[in-house]
């Protein structure tokens, strides 16, 4: 513990220096930093939980160079590096079947950077992606110690708070659509879709009626927030994940008696009309546009028209550079030179012309090439397979509580992977945390002993 004592000495000297400087009011920050480092050193998993809780709240720090997630992430990375060097954390924690895809993906990523059409844009893309890669390594190292129940609670509360802000304050809306603390309503819908399965798990696991009502209220707020985003992709993803959850609990259908069906039908008769009435008229119109795609809805709906143009431009980029793409982050550069950029730009501003693909998979295939795109898709598919294997392992061990947890975490991870088809977010923090967590949870499940059958 010699090195931690040196950290204490360093922060103590920093505190004294601040007291003697023209900015003595900053001295308490050094004391708080000392406490934070000590806590993270003893309980690094708390740092990962803190990052997960702060992701939906990052908008509070968008005008600051340092945010809460950056401070915690940087401190946690340094602490874990020290603990690895001092052999306080076994290096075999880094073992993961995801590496076989990730290493190949990053090798092709760097080769694509050497052949990029714009080095500045590629370096910016790499800087953003590096945040996700750091979180991936951090989660591999300390994911085993993370309290999954607390993870579900913190994420649910954090996203629910932003939903409440967006629903009741126009400050957190974008042209009437809820955006929370983010600039994109679809990105906010992605967070909601990630949190809904976790909220459902908390409702099911609640130890008493009061707790169940609280988490049920959070669940209803999340659904209200999703409606307020007017995100069609969010509605589709949420519907698919809930169907998967219902399939997992199909064994409980045998408990339903004929007398329960009447109450269920009464509840549906009340809830469905109320939901339709509460749904914003603009959202209803956007949903209806999905049902008339074959009759020219793309021409009538500007959003659908833009997404169709992204596919056209991205397909052309793939045909021209199928192996290494045009370079990380260069899709906006190619899109801005097309007539689509001018046609779908309301005011011809630079930000309106240089648009991302709003599809992570299309963006990676067009910017990095087909091989890198296949590795990225394979990486996410392996993560989903890891969750299925972890669930199966816990069911073989008759640990139904852990099996339920794997199901709901799998639903959340599936929501992220599906949402990447509608959003450009290769550096989304939850994606990389969950990707590493799938490997950790599978190893933990398969290494647990199988109970012996009773004679």
Each residue's pLDDT tens digit, 194-226: 999 999 999 988 888 899 999 999 998 998 888
Average pLDDT over residues 156-170: 87
User: Rounded to the nearest 10 degrees, how much is the dihedral formed by the CA atoms of 167, 173, 178, 184?
Assistant: -160
Binned at pLDDT 50, 70 and 90, residue 355 comes out as: confident
Helices (H), 181-231: 185-205, 209-229
24, with CB counted inside 10 A (0-12, 13-18, 19+), is exposed
Binned at pLDDT 50, 70 and 90, residue 297 comes out as: very low
Tell which phi-psi region holds residue 176, choosing left (phi > 0), alpha (psi between -120 and 50) or beta: left
149, with CB counted inside 10 A (0-12, 13-18, 19+), is middle
Binned at pLDDT 50, 70 and 90, residue 340 comes out as: confident
Average pLDDT over residues 1-10: 53
Average pLDDT over residues 171-198: 83
Which is more confident, 422 or 370?
370
DSSP, res 177:
E
Binned at pLDDT 50, 70 and 90, residue 1 comes out as: very low
CB neighbours (10 Å) of residue 131? 16
Which is more confident, 130 or 228?
130
State the angle between helix axes of 258-278 and 209-229 in degrees (0 to 180), rounded to the nearest 10. 40
pTM as predicted: 0.85
Give percent of the chain with pLDDT exceeding 70: 75
- Reply yes or no on whether the pLDDT at 317 is more than 70: yes
- Reply yes or no on whether the pLDDT at 379 is more than 50: yes
Average pLDDT over residues 430-439: 95
Q: Let me know: does 84 contact 93? Beta carbons within 8 Å.
A: no
List C-alpha distances in Å: 344 to 79, 295, 339, 352, 367: 47, 21, 9, 8, 22
- Reply yes or no on whether the pLDDT at 296 is more than 90: no
Give percent of the chain with pLDDT exceeding 90: 37
- Could you give the 3-state DSSP secondary structure of residue 227? helix
Average pLDDT over residues 134-139: 94
pLDDT tens digit string along 392-403?
A: 999 998 888 899
What radius of gyration, in Å, describes the C-alpha atoms of the chain?
24
Among 126-140, 247-261, 303-317, 401-415, where is mean pLDDT lowest?
247-261
Binned at pLDDT 50, 70 and 90, residue 133 comes out as: very high
Which is more confident, 364 or 453?
364
- Reply yes or no on whether the pLDDT at 7 is more than 60: no
Which is more confident, 246 or 23?
246
242, with CB counted inside 10 A (0-12, 13-18, 19+), is middle
- Reply yes or no on whether the pLDDT at 138 is more than 80: yes
Encode 153-180: b = buried (16+ Cβ within 10 Å), e = exposed: bbbbbbbbbbbbbbbeeeebbbeebbbb
Domain ranges within the chain, ordered by starting residue: 95-249+296-455
The CA distance from 419 to 196, in Å, is 14
- Reply yes or no on whether the pLDDT at 140 is more than 80: yes
- Reply yes or no on whether the pLDDT at 415 is more than 60: yes
Q: Let me know: does 441 contact 409? Beta carbons within 8 Å.
A: yes
> Residues, the chain, total?
455
- Reply yes or no on whether the pLDDT at 50 is more than 70: yes
Half-sphere exposure of 54 (CA within 13 A, CB side): 17
The CA distance from 38 to 8, in Å, is 9
Binned at pLDDT 50, 70 and 90, residue 3 comes out as: very low
What is the pLDDT at residue 318?
93
- Reply yes or no on whether the pLDDT at 300 is more than 80: no
CA angle 79, 84, 90 (to 5 degrees): 130
Which is more confident, 414 or 171?
414
DSSP string, 330-348: -HHHHHHTSHHHHHT-SS-
DSSP, res 171:
G
Q: Which two tokens stand for residue 230?
A: 């007017």
What is the pLDDT at residue 255?
55
Average pLDDT over residues 304-310: 80
Q: Phi then psi for 179, rounded to 5 degrees?
A: -125, 0
pLDDT tens digit string along 245-294?
A: 777 666 655 555 555 555 555 555 565 565 555 556 555 555 555 555 44
Q: Phi then psi for 65, rounded to 5 degrees?
A: -70, -35
pLDDT tens digit string along 68-96?
A: 778 888 888 888 888 888 888 888 889 89
The segment with the largest mean pLDDT, out of 11-25, 29-43, 159-173, 376-390, is 376-390
Q: Which two tokens stand for residue 62?
A: 């968008």
What is the pLDDT at residue 298?
47
Nearest one of 372, 350, 345, 359 to 310, comparing CA atoms: 359
């Amino acid at each position: 513990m010699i090195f931690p004592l040196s950290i204490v000495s360093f922060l103590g000297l920093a505190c004294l220096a601040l007291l003697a400087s023209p900015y003595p009011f900053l001295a308490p920050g050094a004391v708080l930093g000392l406490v934070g480092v000590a806590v993270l050193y003893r309980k690094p998993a708390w740092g990962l939980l803190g990052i997960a809780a702060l992701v939906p709240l990052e908008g509070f720090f968008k005008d600051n160079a340092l945010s809460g997630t950056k401070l915690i992430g940087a401190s946690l990375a340094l602490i874990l590096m020290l603990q690895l060097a001092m052999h306080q954390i076994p290096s075999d924690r880094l073992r993961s079947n995801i590496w076989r895809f990730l290493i190949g993906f990053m090798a092709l990523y760097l080769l694509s950077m050497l052949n990029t059409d714009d080095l500045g844009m590629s370096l910016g893309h790499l800087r953003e992606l590096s945040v996700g890669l750091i979180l991936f390594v951090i989660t591999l190292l300390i994911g085993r110690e993370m309290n999954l129940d607390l993870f579900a609670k913190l994420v649910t509360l954090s996203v629910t708070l932003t939903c409440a802000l967006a629903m009741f304050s126009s400050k957190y809306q974008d042209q009437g659509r809820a955006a929370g603390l983010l600039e994109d309503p679809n990105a906010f819908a992605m967070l909601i879709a990630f949190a809904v399965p976790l909220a459902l798990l908390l409702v099911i696991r609640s130890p008493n009626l009061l707790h169940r009502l609280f988490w049920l209220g959070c669940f209803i707020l999340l659904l209200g927030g999703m409606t307020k985003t007017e995100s069609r992709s969010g509605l589709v993803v949420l519907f698919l994940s809930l169907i998967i959850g219902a399939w997992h609990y199909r064994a409980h259908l045998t408990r339903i008696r004929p007398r329960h069906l009447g109450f269920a039908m009464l509840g549906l008769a009340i809830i469905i009309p109320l939901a339709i009435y509460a749904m914003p008229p603009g959202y209803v119109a956007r949903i209806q546009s999905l049902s008339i795609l074959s009759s020219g809805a793309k021409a009538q709906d500007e959003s659908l028209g833009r997404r169709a143009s992204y596919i056209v431009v991205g397909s052309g980029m793939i045909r021209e550079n199928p192996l290494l793409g045009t370079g990380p982050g260069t899709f906006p550069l190619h899109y801005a030179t097309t007539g689509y950029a001018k046609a779908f730009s309301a005011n011809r501003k630079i930000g309106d012309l240089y648009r991302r693909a709003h599809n992570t998979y299309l963006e990676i295939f067009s910017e990095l090439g087909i091989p890198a795109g296949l590795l990225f898709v394979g990486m996410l598919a392996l993560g989903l397979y890891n969750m299925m294997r972890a669930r199966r392992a816990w069911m073989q061990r008759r640990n139904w509580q852990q099996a339920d947890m794997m199901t709901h975490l799998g639903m959340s991870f599936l929501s992220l992977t599906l949402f990447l088809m509608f959003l450009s977010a290769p550096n989304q923090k939850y994606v990389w945390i969950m990707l590493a967590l799938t490997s950790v949870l599978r190893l933990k499940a398969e290494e647990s002993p199988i109970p012996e059958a009773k004679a």
